[in-house]
Structure 1
Amino acid sequence: MSSKFRNVFLVFGVLVVVIMLFSFDMKYDELWNNLKRAGGYLPLVLLLWLVVYFINALSWFVIIRGGKPSPVSFLRVYKFTVSGFALNYVTPVGLMGGEPYRIMELTPYLGVERATSSVILYVMMHIFSHFCFWLASVFLYLFMFPVNMFMAIILGLISALCLFLIMVFVKGYRHGMAVAFVRLCSHIPYLKKYAARIADKHKDKLETIDKQVALLHSQRKSSFYGALSLEFLARIVSCVEVWLILNVLTTDVSFLGCILIVAFSSLLANLLFFMPMQLGGREGGFALAVGGLSLSGAYGVYTALITRVRELFWIVIGLALMKIGNIKKTDN
Structure 2
Amino acid sequence: MSSKYRNIFLCFGLLAVVVMLFSFDMKYDELWTNLKRAGVYLPLVLLLWLIIYFINTCSWYLIIRGGKHSLVSFLRVYKFTVTGFALNSVTPVGLMGGEPYRIMELTPYMGVERATSSVILYVMMHIFSHFCFWLASVLLYAILFPVGWIMALVLGFITVLCLLLVTVFIKGYRKGMAVAFIRLCSHIPFLRKRASSFADKHKDRLETIDKQVALLHSQRKSSFYGALSLEFLARIVSCVEVWLILNVLTTDVSFISCVLIVAFSSFLANLFFFMPMQLGGREGGFALAVGSLSLSGAYGIYTALITRVRELFWIVIGLALMKIGNIKKNN
CA distance in 1 between counterparts of 2:330 and 2:306 reads: 42
Q: Mean Cα displacement is larger for which, 14-23 or 109-118? A: 14-23
Structure 1 segment 173-192 matched on structure 2, within 5 A: 173-192=173-192
CA gap 1:248/1:330 in 2 versus in 1, 3 angstroms: closer
List runs of 5+ in structure 1 lacking aligned partners: none
Question: Which residue of 1 is the match for residue 306 of structure 2?
Answer: 306
Return the offset for 1:150. 1.5
Give SS of 1:93's match.
Answer: coil
Q: Give per-residue Cα distances to partners, 1:130-175, cap 9 Å, x unaligned.
A: 0000000000101110111121111111111111100100000000
Question: Which residue of 2 is the match for residue 78 of structure 1?
Answer: 78
Q: C-alpha root-mean-square deviation of aligned residues, in Å?
A: 0.8
**Residue type at the aligned position of 1:107:** T
Q: Give per-residue Cα distances to partners, 1:80-125, cap 9 Å, x unaligned.
A: 0000000000000000000000000000000000000000000000
Q: TM-score normalized by structure 1?
A: 0.99
**Residue type at the aligned position of 2:3:** S
Structure 1 segment 278-293 matched on structure 2, within 5 A: 278-293=278-293
Give SS of 2:96's match.
Answer: coil
**Residue type at the aligned position of 2:135:** L
Structure 1 segment 216-295 matched on structure 2, within 5 A: 216-295=216-295
Structure 1 segment 1-332 matched on structure 2, within 5 A: 1-329=1-329
Contact 1:290 1:297 in 2 (8 A): yes
Give SS of 1:248's match.
Answer: coil
List runs of 5+ in structure 2 lacking aligned partners: none
Contact 1:108 1:329 in 2 (8 A): no
Q: Give per-residue Cα distances to partners, 1:171-208, cap 9 Å, x unaligned.
A: 00000000000000111110100110110000000000
Contact 1:217 1:224 in 2 (8 A): yes
**Residue type at the aligned position of 1:274:** F
CA distance in 1 between counterparts of 2:243 and 2:176 reads: 38
Identity %: 84
Q: TM-score normalized by structure 2?
A: 0.99
Give SS of 2:328's match.
Answer: coil
CA distance in 2 between counterparts of 1:259 and 1:143 reads: 14
Return the offset for 1:330. 5.8
Give SS of 1:71's match.
Answer: coil
CA distance in 1 between counterparts of 2:268 and 2:141 reads: 16
Return the offset for 1:48. 0.1
Return the offset for 1:329. 3.7
CA distance in 2 between counterparts of 1:23 and 1:144 reads: 38
Q: Give per-residue Cα distances to partners, 1:230-256, cap 9 Å, x unaligned.
A: 000000000000000000001111000
CA distance in 2 between counterparts of 1:286 and 1:146 reads: 20
Contact 2:2 2:330 in 1 (8 A): no
